[in-house]
Amino acid sequence: MRETMTSRERVRRAVAHLPVDRMPIDLGGHSSTGISAFAYRDLRERLGLPTDRIEVIDMGQFLARVDEDVRRRFHIDCAFLRPPARDTIRWTPRGNYEFVIPAQYDPRPREDGSWLQAPQTGSFMPKGGYFFDTIRQPLSYGDDAFADCAREAERLYKETDYYTMYIGYGAYFSGDLLWQMRMITDPEEIYEENEFHHKLQLRSIGKLIDAMGGFVQAVVINSDLGSQGGPLCRPSLHERLCAPFVRDLCGFVHRNSDFKVFLHSCGSIREFIPSLIDCGVDILNPVQISAAGMDPRELKRLYGDKIAFWGGGCDTQRVLGSGTPEEVAANVRELTGIMKPGSGFVFNQVHNVMGNVPPENVIAMLDTAYEEAFY
């Protein structure tokens, strides 16, 4: 079947639950829809593409920027919004794996074979590892980086037809266990802290709308609300201490821009979804179908016409890294068959492709997604 829509139009319509020519496909449009630089290097080699300039765009998760040749090969509809680092260095952690990374991180070898990032980050990659254990970098950009990002957003909008989103805001919930305990012991403090951060975020989003309102299609808020086995807090606590600010943020964004609100939350979060829909969240990612209570059929049946699902197209925990290419293809066919009907779905694997995923599995996933994409 012939494609008739641009990538940006296709994603916009899918997110709005409107008919599309085919299911949109994402790889690398968000820092939780991407691919490890190690896996990306292997993928490029398998495809016969150059491997001499692989750019790392997230030093903590060690994600690669997905290049135009790979986007074209796999019919990808999204592009990651982050300008290239102003100063870069080449770094070879092992073997033939050479990457272009921001110079500020400058990893140093340690006696045990691990790598330590620049001392101010306190982050290391173990020997033979695929990502750094932690990274202390702000979610929001400084003024110079924000201006660079605005220029990159304008360039992507005018020179390409990819869907882009701005990543940089929290969703008023912390993964820190002590913070979660304080939701019970000191709820007034938590509310006041969220209120303070909310004012800062609205001010920043106002700047974002002024600078990029014509060029960006979504704004991302991030807070992991679930674990593998269940929610990280009682939904009633979230409704009282966090949801009011999510609701106000969504309202502000929708009143003042054409942006959609994209919420990233891992884990078992089915109990939160009705509240998130009520708050005005438009898009949910990564749709961790392998977590408790996250059966894709039930999610689609209950909420598929009320919120767009961005992810859940391939099981990264149980299939993508350990299955055969045939098993990966079968998993993609099953899940797209569930999630694609009625629009409201952007294909992506559940979270990032890890560094040790075989390239033939990545190819099987993305090729099958395109084969199954048409309505």
Task: Provide the β-strand partners of residue 260.
Answer: 218
User: Of the candidates 269, 305, 262, which has an alpha carbon nearest to the alpha carbon of residue 285?
Assistant: 262
Q: Contact at 8 Å (CB) between 134 and 123? A: yes
71 falls within a domain: no
Q: Is residue 170 part of a domain?
A: yes
Burial class for 134, CB neighbours closer than 10 Å (0-12, 13-18, 19+) = exposed
Does residue 252 sit within a domain? yes
| Region for 136 from its dihedrals, namely left if φ exceeds 0, alpha if ψ lies in -120 to 50, beta otherwise | beta
pLDDT value of position 143:
62
The span from the CA of 168 to the CA of 150, in Å, is: 13
- Domain extent, residue 165, equals 7-34+141-371
- Give the whole-angstrom CA distance, residue 131 versus residue 228: 21
Q: How many domains does the chain have?
A: 1
Sign of CA dihedral 166, 167, 170, 171: positive
Is residue 296 one of the residues assigned to a domain?
yes
Question: How would you write the pLDDT of the chain (375 residues) with one tens digit per residue?
Answer: 578 999 999 999 999 999 999 999 999 999 999 999 999 999 999 999 999 999 999 998 999 999 999 999 999 999 999 999 999 999 999 999 999 999 989 899 999 999 998 766 678 899 999 998 865 544 444 566 789 999 999 999 999 999 999 998 999 999 999 999 999 999 999 999 999 999 999 999 999 999 999 999 999 999 999 999 999 999 999 999 999 999 999 999 999 999 999 999 999 999 999 999 999 999 999 999 999 999 999 999 999 999 999 999 999 999 999 999 999 999 999 999 999 999 999 999 999 999 999 999 999 999 999 999 999
The distance in angstroms from the start CA to the end CA of the chain is 9
CA 343 and chain centroid, separation: 20
Q: Is residue 64 part of a domain?
A: no
The CATH code of the domain that includes 194 is 3.20.20.210
pTM of the model: 0.95
Distance CA 15, CA 23 (A): 11
Could you tell me if residue 247 is inside a domain?
yes
Are the C-beta atoms of residues 264 and 222 closer than 8 Å to each other?
yes
* CA dist., res. 356 & res. 130, Å (int): 8
pLDDT at 1: 54
- Say what the pLDDT of residue 91 is: 97
Structural domain contains residue 211: yes
Domain assignment present for residue 116? The answer is no
